[in-house]
Amino acid sequence: MSEQGEKSWLTIGTLLLATTLVALSGGIVNPILPAIENAFPNVPNAGTLAQLVSTLTGLIIAIFAPIIGVLVDRYGRKSILVGSIIIYGIGPSLAYFLDSLYLILATRVFLGIAVAGIMVSSTTLIADYFSGKRRETVMGWQGAMMPFGAAVAMVAGGVIADLNWRTAFLTYLVAFLMLPLVVRYIDEPDIDTNGEETSLPSLTEVREILSGLPLAFLAGVYLTMFIGMIGYNQINVEIPFYLQTVTSVSGTMTGIAIAAVSVAAGLVSLNFDRIRERLHPVAIIACIFAAAGVGFLIAGLTGSYWIIVVGIIIAGAGLILLTPTMNYWVASRITEQYRGRALSGVTTTQFLGMFMSPIAAQPLISSLGNGQALVAMGGLGFGLMVLFAVMALRGRSVSDTASPPQPND
């Protein structure tokens, strides 16, 4: 299935719809978190536990994505995708019937496992099905589905919050509408696994596998993704507080600001293939952090709502490109046999960065305040821009020291 022309639009559409489940996983519950807290007034630390309903999923994804990566390479992409969609539909939906906040949290573990499976398997399938420019295009579309889906989920979650907060958990049942599409239109790629599906590798075989992988390149990609996602999630977790502190705007206006970032980020991701045509991934990353630096600096130095919105749109539209850039770059350098494992690292660091975002930023916010913390993050963005710009100008990257360049990187 290496030839992209053989893949129908229905196959592409099915994979992109599967990606929307990832966006729905968190966006749909964020607006109902206050209602969850109010529903359990007698539970100690109900506010913190309610926030974990949203953030715990990211930690579970980060933990399970590497495991999913091994399973995807060993047992096949389609079977993992089908199983993950079933878990997605059943696990978190159980929260609708539960009267314990702790049990509701337990259902989020199932959601995290399911999202890890969907993200890793669908991304690996895109990498298997397509190559070259077509791969760039489809990965750009996949990257766009995340922010577009998040924007829709936030609006839907807000409407549901005004009706009955428990109903939000039933929205996960939409996964079962996608299941027939996956069964019908997704084919298992013919990957040579060298018998891995029937036996565990020995220690010697593990060493041989590692010796054949560009470990320095992967470490650089994962670290960059982790740092970038810490910055990106600041827009979701800290900007709402900053807006209300500085501008005293309503919750509706705050929601509009965050949704505007998601829409802008999605539009930029749709053009990833055009960006990749003109720039090497290292140069793209330099531009990403330049946008983050400019955006956070603008947002941190003003008290105007609209100027802050402009700033976070610039930062968010830049940082969102990390996902298609890293997925494409890793897919182009890693062979099919180990591609699932390598791409699972991108998913792990993506969601681990999001989970760590409020924790990592708290010391800055406590010592400097929200505005100056954004300025400091802008400064970090400029520093990373300079680092990657120098690497791009010299025609070098972390990957150059790990393995020779390949045609698609």
Q: Is residue 71 part of a domain?
A: yes
Q: Are residues 229 and 97 in the same domain?
A: no
pLDDT at 385: 96
So what's the pLDDT on residue 191?
65
- Let me know: does 167 contact 160? Beta carbons within 8 Å: yes
Q: Are residues 18 and 80 in the same domain?
A: yes
Domain end, chosen from 168, 185, 202, is at 185
Cα 403 off chain centre by: 26
Q: State which residues form the domain around 72.
A: 1-185
Q: Pseudo-torsion of CA 398, 399, 405, 408, nearest 10°?
A: -110
- Domain co-membership, 215 together with 181: no
- What CATH number corresponds to the domain at position 311? 1.20.1250.20
**Spatial distance between the Cα atoms of 390 and 320, rounded to a whole number of angstroms:** 22
- Residue 397's pLDDT is 42
Whether 93 and 228 map to the same domain: the answer is no
**If you write DSSP's letter for every residue of 270-318 in order, what string do you get?**
HTHHHHHHHS-HHHHHHHHHHHHHHHHHHHHT---HHHHHHHHHHHHHH
Structure confidence at residue 134 (pLDDT): 86
202: in domain: no
Q: Are 289 and 97 in contact (CB under 8 A)?
A: no
For the chain, the domain total comes to: 2
217 and 156 in one domain? no
DSSP SS3 for 32: helix
Do 264 and 367 belong together in one domain? yes
Look-up: residue for tokens 């305040």?
369
Residue 51 lies in a domain: yes
- What is the pTM assigned to this prediction? 0.75
In this structure, are 220 and 286 located in the same domain? yes
Query: Both 239 and 290 in a single domain?
Result: yes
Q: Is residue 190 part of a domain?
A: no
Nearby residues of 373 by Cβ (< 8 Å), 6 or more positions away? 238, 300, 361, 364, 365
| Residues 237 and 352 placed together within one structural domain of the fold | yes
Does 267 map to a domain? yes
User: Are residues 144 and 254 located together in one domain of the fold?
Assistant: no
Does residue 409 sit within a domain? no
- Pair 198, 322: CB distance under 8 Å: no
Q: Are 132 and 217 within one domain?
A: no
Digit-by-digit pLDDT tens for the chain (409 residues) are: 444 444 588 899 999 999 889 888 877 887 777 788 888 988 888 877 887 888 888 889 989 988 898 888 888 899 999 999 999 999 999 999 999 999 999 999 999 999 999 999 998 899 888 888 888 888 888 888 888 887 787 777 777 767 888 988 999 999 999 999 999 999 888 765 554 444 545 555 455 555 556 788 889 999 999 999 999 988 877 887 788 788 877 766 777 888 888 889 888 988 888 898 888 999 999 999 999 999 999 999 988 899 999 999 999 999 999 998 998 888 888 877 777 788 888 888 988 998 888 788 888 888 888 889 999 999 999 999 999 999 888 875 444 444 444 444 5
Q: What pLDDT does residue 125 have?
A: 92
Q: Residue 108 is inside which H or E element, if any? A: helix 101-129
157: in domain: yes
User: Which pLDDT score, from 0 to 100, does residue 1 have?
Assistant: 43
Task: State residue 253's pLDDT score.
Answer: 79
Q: Is 180 in the same domain as 217?
A: no
In a domain, 191, yes or no: no
Tokens of residue 235, six digits: 């827009």
pLDDT at residue 3, rounded to an integer: 45
For 27-69, write each residue's pLDDT tens digit.
Answer: 788 777 778 888 898 888 887 788 788 888 888 998 998 889 8
